[in-house]
Amino acid sequence: MQFEHHREPLAPLSRFVRRLISSFAAGLGLVAVSLAIGMIGYRRLFALSWIDAFVNASMILSGMGPVDAMHSVAGKRFAGLYALYSGIAFLAVAGLVFAPLLHRLLHHFHADEKDLNPDDDKESGKP
């Protein structure tokens, strides 16, 4: 995803909405992949049902902590590594989702008055 430079006019609303949708979709995809990794790990290492694996993986991914107790060394290692990964994934998803909003806000502060409404020039026939 490439944003316009601060010297360029502010992107039209339609392009901004497309950026929001694509960044939200990328964040949702990262959450889905992360959840799948956690579910498979909990299913294999703890022999949990799919629904219990989902609960444990989603709780760790959201920062709440595990639901079921871990008894094996391999399971504890997985849970610890998955928790560390989840913290990084949380920051990555937040960055993906909020990047278009923050860019538009910062661009708005740096833009000239004529750059804030690029669609106005099209309607008035000015180049």
Residue 125 lies in a domain: no
CATH number of the domain enclosing 44: 1.10.287.70
Residue 95 lies in a domain: yes
Residue 71 lies in a domain: yes
Does residue 74 contact residue 45 with C-beta atoms inside 8 Å? yes
Number of domains, the chain: 1
Residue 77 lies in a domain: yes
Q: Convert the pLDDT of each residue in 67-125 to its tens digit.
A: 877 888 988 899 899 999 999 999 999 988 888 788 777 766 765 555 555 555 555 55
Query: Distance (Å, rounded) from C-alpha 110 to C-alpha 80?
Result: 43
pLDDT value of residue 89: 92
Q: Convert the pLDDT of each residue in 53-65 to its tens digit.
A: 999 999 999 888 7
Domain range for residue 77? 30-112
Residue 62 lies in a domain: yes
Residue 127 lies in a domain: no
For residue 30, give Cα distances in angstroms to 27, 36, 67, 88, 96. Answer: 5, 10, 22, 11, 10
Residue 82 lies in a domain: yes
pLDDT value of residue 1: 60
- Contacts of 66 by beta carbon, 8 Å cutoff, 6+ apart: 56, 59, 60, 79
